[in-house]
Structure 1
Amino acid sequence: MLTELSSIRDWLRYTVSQFESSDIFFGHGTSNAYDEAVWLIFGFLHLPHDTIENFLDASLTGKEKKDLLFLIEKRIKDKIPTAYLLNEAWLRDYKFYVDERVIVPRSLIAESLSENLYPWIDDPEKIFSALDLCSGSGCLGIMMAHSFQNAIIDLVDLSEKALQVAEININHYGLNDRTELIQSDLFDALQDKKYDLIISNPPYVNQASVDSFPMEFLKEPSMALGSGEEGLDHTIRIINEAKRYLNDDGILIVEIGHNKEVLLNKFPTLKFQWLDVSLGNDFVFMLQKSQLPD
C-alpha cells in the first residue's frame, strides 16, 4: 500500500476515507474527517495548513509514509486525539504544545480575548494584573499576556503536571518575565493577591456527560473535565470566592459549557452578563466585582 500512496494528495484522500469509515470522534479542534486529516498530515509534515494547494502534489519519503501511517492507525485504533499525536493544538492564531498531562485547548473565551475582551474592557492598557484560573496548558493566560501588554499574569492550576506543560508554552512565547505559575486548588494558595481581571475555563462537564464520554475524551485528564453531578462544583466556588481577589473595578469571566439554566437557578439574583461567542451567548458569563456575592 505504501508504494501506491505517493503524494500528499494521495495521503489526504486515503486518510479521509479511513476516518470516514471508522468510529473516531471529532471534538478536539475539528468537526469532520477532512479537517482532521488535513491537521494530522500537515501537522506531521510541519507544513502550513493555510496553503494546502501548494503542497498537494509533493511526494512523501519512505520514512514519512511509514510514520504517517503509524499515526493514522493510532488515531483510529487507539482513539488518541490528533493534538496528542502531534503535540500541538491551536486557539485562534496561537499554537500550543499539548500532551496527555492537559486537556486539549478549546475555550470559547479565546474568541473574546482575540478582541481584547471588548466591550467589557475599554482600555486594555489599564489591565495590570490578571489571573488564568484552571490554566491547564496555559493557553488563555498566554493569550491574555498578548492582549494586555501591561499585565502580569498568574497561571493557576491544581495539577503540577499541567503547570509543567504551561511552562513549556510560556517559554515558547518568551513570557517568563510577565507570568507566574502557581499550584493551587482554585484560589486557596493566592493569599492576598488581587487582580484587575480573572478568567477561568474550569471543569464544567456534568456526571451524565462524563459517563457517556467517547474514547477520545477519556484520554484527557479526568480532573480537568468533570465537576460534580451538575457540572458546576468549580464554578460555584469561583463565584463565591472571586470577590476577595478582584480589585475594585475588576471583572470575572468564566466559561460554563451547557450549564446556563442550572447556573441561573443556583444564583437567581446575580446579574450575569453573557459574552457573545460563535456558539451563542449562553456559554461564557461576566460579572463585575460589585455584582459578586460577599
Structure 2
Amino acid sequence: MLDADELVQLNHEFDEAIQSLKTIRDFIRFCISKLREHDVVVAQGTTDVFAEAGAIVLHTLSLQWSADEQILDCRLTDSEKTEVLTLLQRRIVERKPLSYLINLAYFCELPFYVDERVLIPRSPINELIRQQFYPYFESNDLVQKLSGSKKDPQFFEHGLDEKQLAQPERILDLCTGSGCIAIALASRFPDAFVDASDIDKNALEVAGVNANHHEDITHQLNLIESDLFAKIPAENQYDLIVTNPPYVDSATMADLPPEFLYEPDHALSAGQDGLDIVHQILFHAPDYLTRDGLLVCEVGDSEWALRQAYPDIQFDWLIFANGGSGVFAMDFDELMENREYFRHYVEKLNKL
C-alpha cells in the first residue's frame, strides 16, 4: 500500500502524464512503467505486464484487447486519459486484480464475468481444450492447432496418450468456479453434455451468469452443487473429467501477495501439502469414468508434493506451448491400478 507521500507523488506523475502523453501507445508504456515501479504482482489471468498494461488502456477505451497495431498511435481525449489513469491508480493502490476491477477475464478466447466469489481464470488446461485433448480424442473443425505456422498449423504435443477415441459425449468439470472450463469445453465439444459442479453456491451463481452470457451452449450445461462427487449421480459415467481444484499448500497461503488475498480462500487452500482434495479426486474418479475415460487434473506448484506422496506411480505430466505446469492425466485403467495407494491417503484424511 502507498503511504500519503507516495500517493501525492503518484498523483503528480498522473497530472504530468495527462499533459504530456498523447497516444494509446504512450499510455500503455506509462502503465507498464508504473506497474513495475510499484511492484504490482501480475499473475492472475496473465503474467505479462505488457498484456496487463494494454488491457488497462484498451478496455477503458472500449477497444479489443488485441487491437490492430495502427490504432496504437491514435490520440486520447483528456477525459479518456483521466479514465485510464483512474483504473491504473486503483490497480496500484488497492492491489486488486484487474479482472476484479473490470469484472472481465478471458479463457480459451472467450469472455467471462468474474468477481471476488471466484478465482480468476488462468489454467493452462485451456490449451488442451483448444486442441480438444488431441490425440486422446479425435478432433473436428473446431480444433485450434497450437504449433507450426499459420500456413501449416500443427498439433502441439502436450503428452496425452494417442488413442484417437471418439469425442466425449459426457464431460464433468469438477470444482468449476466461474464455469469457464465447463463453458469452454461445451464450446469445443458441441455434441457433449457438460456437468459443472462446485461446493460453493456463490461460485455457482457466477457460473450461472456466465452460462447465460454464452447462451448458445446453455442446453449442454448443467450446474450441480456438490462437495466433489457427493451429489454427482452414480449413474453418470463421463468420458472426460477435468478439474482445477484448490491445491495451494499452507506455507504458500501464508505468504500470498496482496492481489491473491482478494480471491476466495477456500478456492485456493488445500491443507498442509495442498493435496487434501486431490487425494479424494484420485480415489473416487474411476467410479465416474467410462472404461476409456480420462481424468485431467491441475495441481500447480503442488506437483512436487504429489510426486513425493506417490513415488511408485508414474503420473503423465503434461507440457504446454505457452507455459504452465502441474497438470497430469490418468485414464481409467491407471486410476484403478493405483487405487489402493489413493485409498490409503483418503482414509488417512478421514481420520484427521
Q: Do the structures match in fold with TM over 0.5?
A: yes
Tell me if structure 2 keeps the 8 A contact 1:270–1:291.
no
Tell me if structure 2 keeps the 8 A contact 1:40–1:86.
no
Distance across 2 between alignment mates of 1:41 and 1:20? 16
**Alignment partner for residue 59 of structure 2, among 29, 43, 48?**
43
**Which position in structure 2 is the counterpart of 1:184?**
226
Between Structure 1 and Structure 2, the one with more helix by share is: 2
Distance across 1 between alignment mates of 2:195 and 2:79? 43
Indicate how the Cα distance of structure 1 residues 265 and 57 shifts in structure 2: closer, same or farther if over 3 A, else same: closer
Query: What amino acid sits opposite 1:285 in the alignment?
Result: F
Gaps of 5+ in 2: 1-14, 139-163, 341-352
Q: Secondary structure at the match of 2:59?
A: helix
**Which position in structure 2 is the counterpart of 1:169?**
210
Larger Rg: 2
**Which position in structure 1 is the counterpart of 2:37?**
21
Deviation digits for residues 175-229 of structure 1 (CA, Å, limit 9, x no counterpart)? 1110001111111111312211100011111111111100000011111111111
Deviation digits for residues 28-67 of structure 1 (CA, Å, limit 9, x no counterpart)? 1333433221011112222123234222233334443333
Q: Does 1:75 align with 2:105?
A: no
Tell me if structure 1 keeps the 8 A contact 2:170–2:192.
yes
**Alignment partner for residue 302 of structure 2, among 259, 271, 276?**
259
Distance across 1 between alignment mates of 2:322 and 2:58? 27
**Which position in structure 1 is the counterpart of 2:247?**
204
Distance across 2 between alignment mates of 1:229 and 1:127? 35
Query: What amino acid sits opposite 2:223 in the alignment?
Result: L
Distance across 2 between alignment mates of 1:58 and 1:82? 24
Distance across 2 between alignment mates of 1:139 and 1:108? 12
Indicate how the Cα distance of structure 1 residues 126 and 19 shifts in structure 2: closer, same or farther if over 3 A, else same: closer
Within-5 A mapping of 1:111-126? 111-122=127-138, 123=164, 125-126=166-167
Tell me if structure 1 keeps the 8 A contact 2:124–2:324.
no
Within-5 A mapping of 1:61-72? 61-72=77-88
TM-score, length of structure 2 as denominator length: 0.78
User: Identity, % of aligned pairs?
Assistant: 37
Q: Does 1:226 align with 2:242?
A: no
TM-score, length of structure 1 as denominator length: 0.92
Distance across 2 between alignment mates of 1:277 and 1:34? 21
Gaps of 5+ in 1: none
**Which position in structure 1 is the counterpart of 2:327?**
284
Q: After the TM superposition, which of the residue ranges 141-150 and 201-210 deviates more from structure 2?
A: 141-150
Q: Does 1:159 align with 2:200?
A: yes
- Tell me by how many angstroms 1:129 deviates: 0.4
Indicate how the Cα distance of structure 1 residues 290 and 172 shifts in structure 2: closer, same or farther if over 3 A, else same: same
Q: Does 1:217 align with 2:260?
A: yes
